[in-house]
Structure 1
Amino acid sequence: MRLTFRNIVIGAVVLAGVGAAGYQLSQPEMVPVDLAAVSRGPLEVTVNADGMTRIKDVYEVSAPVSGQVLRTPVRIGDAVVAGETVVARIEPGEPAFLDQRARAQAEAAVAQAEAAKLLAEASARAAEADLDNAQRQFDRIYALHERGAASDAQMDAAEVALDVAAAQFDSAQATQRMRESELSAARAVLIEPTARESGDGAAANCCIALTAPVSGQVLSITNESARMVAAGTPLVTIGPRGDLEITVDLLSTDAVRIAPGAKAYVERWGGPDALAATVTEIEPAAFTKISALGIEEQRVKVLLDFTTPPEDRPSLGHNFRVYLRIVEWRGDDVLTLPISALFREDGDWAVFVVDEGMARLQPVEIGQRNTEIAEVLGGLDEGQQVITHPSDKVEEGVLVVDRTTLE
């Protein structure tokens, strides 16, 4: 068989391709991985939870007496001034309706009171006549006594008779006034409910005007419409909006890890930047709360004060939801690594470090950690490269390559 130059070239190319393929197959596999460096820097460990803002001193205005509350003169969000702004008006309630039997009884009581009044008037006229007669008798005896024609005993008897008549007259007059009052009370029972005045007339006839107990804003109104209320019924809630604090219910196991004065970050409140706050109080008693999964949890109420000035959070108000990160521990110069590089090996923490392109299993001692990074207490040095999120292909001695170099 005669070889041509063309055949020789084709054969050489095929042999080169087979050789290259064989070389590639003979090389060990390199696993692409994500790398991170062990470095020094600040580390904060926080307790995270959802909280709620609230005004520290909330004042609730209640009805001091039972009566008819008129339609509220203020609206939610209105500014009020202590002792000046009227927040509610109360006037007496209307009398009750009378059924047929109650009306008959009331009319009978009126007739009885009218008769008693007539009787009292007659008794008063009789007592007045007796008083006039006693006065004339006294004047006559007094004149005779002055001329020596009447004895001292007669004078004393006339004087006593006059005093008794005067007392009986006063008693009769008092009885008459009492009977007149009883008649007025009996007639008042027959008063029917009437339509109330509207507009300015209602305000003019109002009996009680309740003013704001503190300067601030109206936070809530129980009911804006006019209605009958009993004494003690809440009407309006008022508070100074700028005087805010934060309340958060922490698990008791988290609450014991923080202390008053701890720094906190307020996030997810609606503004672009996180706000600053400090823990002011950790209540000494826990309470039981059912979680969304139906599990009983022991919770502790923790209170925080804003350190960010009010002008940097003007839109934040009462009962707004926020997200808190309360600092439990902080280090300014800590050797750290990403927490995604850690895994358990025989019950201890370990990582894969990169040594001359190969993955090496390295036990490591971990201290404080948060959701992103962990403190390295031993086993690693600053600058070493560790593999984050190691896959099942990564094991001791495997060749690895930085994934970013393949892009």
Structure 2
Amino acid sequence: MAKLFKPLMIAGAVAVVAVGGWLALRPIPVPVDLAEVTQGPMEVTVNAEGVTRIHNLYHISSPVSGLVLRSPVEVGDPVVAGKTLVAAVEPGEPAFLDERSRLQAEAAVKEAAAALKLAEANIAAARSALDYSEAQMARYQRLYDNGNLSAQEYQRQRADLETKKAQLAAAEAERDLRQSTLERQRATLTGPQVPEAGDDLTDCCIRLTAPVSGQVLSVVNTSQRMVAAGEALLTVGDPKELEVSVDLLSSDAVRLKAGATATVDRWGGDGLLQAKLREIEPSGFTKVSALGIEEQRVKAILDFTGPPARRAGLGNAYRVYVRIVEWQAPDAVQVPIGALFREGADWAVYVDGSGVARKRVIKLGRRNDEVAQVLDGLKPGDEVITHPSDRVAEGVQVTPR
């Protein structure tokens, strides 16, 4: 019995060693992630952040220097074109005079008053001279009519009379001039005055109404204050006339055309908003990115195509995310970007061929961030290995992870 047991033990040990060697030497399938090649609609988009803005903004400024009264409107108030009062400007009060300026103004008033008295004295002298000339002219007229005065002497007296009349008119004009000068000099002494109780401060010289129906978007300062001519007071616009401004890389902008469709996402509401590219501005500008890199960018303007009620709550200068369609196809064969790798100058993928990795060179068309268009080398339903590791090679056994 012992002799029989010993050969069995030896045979069992040999079998265990053989099985262990086979297990150690047999190829182990590499776990991989598989994705199916599909066929369907495909889009290539240019993506960028944008800012909403009202198409026509009306910045209202003061047409004259003066005192603008407290704003009758606040941000968000509705306005009607030509009817809603948005600002009122009164003439400003004169400034205070320092001691030197006041003394100079008082001296100028005295000077103007003295000049007025001189002008009045000149009038008196001119009127007296005219009265004498008129009396002389009456005597000369009788002598001329009786033939006792020559025509030459008569004409000389008439010329002297007209001269005296002109001198009186000049003296009166001088008096009016000096009177106006005196009033002007007195006006320089006028200082700011405190309004009395009951004065109506709303009876302004200039009333500004809304240039367009819409809403008040901003008010520079709601308080009463002095303003200069051309100083901004408030901004008015119609929130229904929203558009989107996007800063695109110039290299992306050249691939887009006016009329391209777009979607607006991350705007705060539910779903996507539809838009259309209206124009790409012809001039670019330099912008420094967050990484400190100078980039040439250009503004693209998009119009919303859906009803305003669809984007309720979206206002001026809101941040959004825009996807502008550069290219689209209704029935494209697509492979995930993660399955692609370079094979020399070509693109290739690994296909799962019944548990064995098979390298296949393919021809690609358009690509986006997720998939690439396959022009040749794959067909819908093929399973490709995504993100293949360095263990995956031609003929290697693979198994789905």
> Structure 2: which 5+ runs fail to align?
3-8
Q: In 2 relative to 1, CA 199–303 (structure 1 residues): closer, same or farther, beyond 3 Å?
A: farther
Residue of structure 1 equivalent to 2:52: 53
Contact 1:264 1:326 in 2 (8 A): yes
Q: Distance in 2 between matches of 1:115 and 1:200?
A: 37
Q: Equivalent residues in 2 for 1:130-145 (5 A)?
A: 130-135=129-134, 144=142
TM-score, normalisation: structure 1: 0.84
Q: Distance in 2 between matches of 1:373 and 1:150?
A: 127
Q: Distance in 2 between matches of 1:199 and 1:88?
A: 22
Q: Distance in 2 between matches of 1:300 and 1:83?
A: 37
Contact 2:258 2:278 in 1 (8 A): yes
Residue of structure 2 equivalent to 1:92: 91
Contact 1:41 1:334 in 2 (8 A): yes
Q: Equivalent residues in 2 for 1:302-321 (5 A)?
A: 302-321=300-319
Q: Distance in 2 between matches of 1:321 and 1:197?
A: 51
Is residue 354 of structure 2 the alignment partner of residue 342 of structure 1? no
Match among 321, 324, 327 for residue 322 of structure 2: 324
Is residue 49 of structure 2 the alignment partner of residue 44 of structure 1? no
Secondary structure at 1:170's aligned position in 2?
helix
Which letter does structure 1 place at the counterpart of 2:210? Answer: A
Which letter does structure 2 place at the counterpart of 1:230? Answer: A
Secondary structure at 2:193's aligned position in 1?
coil
Match among 353, 377, 380 for residue 378 of structure 2: 380
Contact 1:54 1:244 in 2 (8 A): yes
The CA RMSD over aligned residues, in Å, is 3.2
Shift of 1:145: 7.1
Residue of structure 1 equivalent to 2:240: 242
Contact 1:335 1:376 in 2 (8 A): yes
Deviations 1:192-234 (A, max 9, x none): 2234579972221x22222222222222223333333322222
Contact 1:267 1:273 in 2 (8 A): yes
Which letter does structure 2 place at the counterpart of 1:312? Answer: R
Residue of structure 2 equivalent to 1:180: 179
Is residue 244 of structure 2 the alignment partner of residue 255 of structure 1? no
Q: Distance in 1 between matches of 2:208 and 2:131?
A: 56
Match among 223, 226, 231 for residue 221 of structure 2: 223
Q: Distance in 1 between matches of 2:258 and 2:373?
A: 25
Q: In 2 relative to 1, CA 150–57 (structure 1 residues): closer, same or farther, beyond 3 Å?
A: farther
Contact 2:61 2:231 in 1 (8 A): yes
Shift of 1:334: 0.7
Residue of structure 2 equivalent to 1:290: 288
* Higher mean C-alpha deviation, range 61-70 or range 326-335: 61-70
* Higher mean C-alpha deviation, range 213-222 or range 155-164: 155-164
Q: Distance in 2 between matches of 1:72 and 1:320?
A: 26
Q: Equivalent residues in 2 for 1:255-274 (5 A)?
A: 255-274=253-272
Shift of 1:272: 0.9
Q: Distance in 2 between matches of 1:24 and 1:182?
A: 124
Deviations 1:8-35 (A, max 9, x none): xxx9xx99xx89x959946653444332
Shift of 1:132: 4.4
Q: Equivalent residues in 2 for 1:37-186 (5 A)?
A: 37-135=36-134, 144=142, 148=146, 153=151, 160=159, 162-186=161-185
Q: Distance in 2 between matches of 1:96 and 1:117?
A: 27
Q: In 2 relative to 1, CA 75–52 (structure 1 residues): closer, same or farther, beyond 3 Å?
A: same
* Higher mean C-alpha deviation, range 58-67 or range 151-160: 151-160
Q: Equivalent residues in 2 for 1:388-399 (5 A)?
A: 388-399=386-397
Q: Distance in 2 between matches of 1:310 and 1:136?
A: 92
Contact 2:38 2:335 in 1 (8 A): yes
Shift of 1:149: 8.6
Secondary structure at 1:270's aligned position in 2?
coil
Shift of 1:337: 1.6
Deviations 1:43-71 (A, max 9, x none): 10011111122222222222222222222
Contact 1:351 1:364 in 2 (8 A): yes
Shift of 1:167: 2.9
Q: In 2 relative to 1, CA 147–256 (structure 1 residues): closer, same or farther, beyond 3 Å?
A: closer
* Higher mean C-alpha deviation, range 21-30 or range 121-130: 21-30
Shift of 1:345: 3.8
Q: Distance in 1 between matches of 2:198 and 2:349?
A: 79
Q: Distance in 2 between matches of 1:197 and 1:78?
A: 32
Which letter does structure 2 place at the counterpart of 1:81? Answer: V
Contact 1:141 1:150 in 2 (8 A): no
TM-score, normalisation: structure 2: 0.85
Q: Distance in 1 between matches of 2:285 and 2:145?
A: 100
Which letter does structure 2 place at the counterpart of 1:233? Answer: E
Contact 2:144 2:150 in 1 (8 A): no
Shift of 1:37: 1.3
Identity of aligned residues (%): 54
Is residue 343 of structure 2 the alignment partner of residue 367 of structure 1? no
* Higher mean C-alpha deviation, range 294-303 or range 368-377: 294-303
